[in-house]
Amino acid sequence: MMDDRSHSTSSGPRDFLDGQLLIAMPSMRDERFARSLVYVCAHSADGAMGIVVNQPATHIDFGDLLVQLDVVPAKERILLPQRAETIKVLRGGPVETGRGFVLHSADYFIENSTLPIDNGICLTASLDILKAIAGGRGPESAVLALGYAGWAPGQLENEIQANGWLHCPADPELVFGDVVEAKYELALRKLGVQPGMLSSEAGHA
């Protein structure tokens, strides 16, 4: 679905936002995306797909999820490597919320399954990467998102023009950082914007 087009943007100005972070403006009308930070995985004339990277999935632990998905037997839950225990589970967006998508560093790659995006960040949506993480062979950095955000052709562009989103280059700290709730303000500061300049809502957790 996501990797059937060329990723080349060398033929002209970079119009597409693959590898960028979308920062929801206070004017965002869709409550599901209020104060959200979305990493854009694919963007073309056919639409866009991204993962929300700053909304933790409450009451879901990565190790427990591996057991639920039969990646590891329940009795081996306690034997998971330390890195697996630290992986954050996120609410990636409102589409296909029962499906897992792993954003990860480029030191792990599965032929025909991993989508390289930009700046050393990749997307893999197969169980193989979860098995690798459980076995201590996974990527150095990773987050698991349940669901994704999707836009029809032209929809994301229209939302940006309507002042719904700012965007900035992604960096690993904003995608993989431990303090998930702080990412929104960190992204704004990367653009030189103080959160209090945008809205009276700023400062509320």
Note the pLDDT tens digit of each residue in 35-89.
999 999 999 999 999 999 999 998 889 999 999 888 888 888 888 888 888 899 9
- Structural domain count, the chain: 1
Distance CA 122, CA 115 (A): 5
- In sequence order, what are the beta bridge partners of 145? 90, 101
Does residue 37 belong to any structural domain of this protein? yes
pLDDT, mean of residues 116-127 = 93
User: How would residue 7 be classed by pLDDT, with cut points 50, 70 and 90?
Assistant: very low
Q: Which domain holds residue 94?
A: 20-193
User: How would residue 94 be classed by pLDDT, with cut points 50, 70 and 90?
Assistant: very high
User: How would residue 3 be classed by pLDDT, with cut points 50, 70 and 90?
Assistant: very low
Does residue 6 belong to any structural domain of this protein? no
- pLDDT the model gives residue 1: 41
pLDDT, mean of residues 96-120 = 93
Does residue 198 belong to any structural domain of this protein? no
Does residue 199 belong to any structural domain of this protein? no
Q: Which residues of 11-31 are buried (b: 16+ CB within 10 A; e: fewer)?
A: eeeeebbbbbbbbbbeebeee
CATH number where 77 lies: 3.40.1740.10
Does residue 59 belong to any structural domain of this protein? yes
Does residue 99 belong to any structural domain of this protein? yes
Does residue 132 belong to any structural domain of this protein? yes
Does residue 189 belong to any structural domain of this protein? yes
pLDDT, mean of residues 184-192 = 90
Q: Tell me which residue of 56, 46, 40, 37 sits closest to 5, measured CA to CA.
A: 46
CB 108 within 8 A of CB 94: no
Can you tell me whether residue 85 is helix, strand or coil? helix
Q: Is the pLDDT of residue 123 over 50?
A: yes
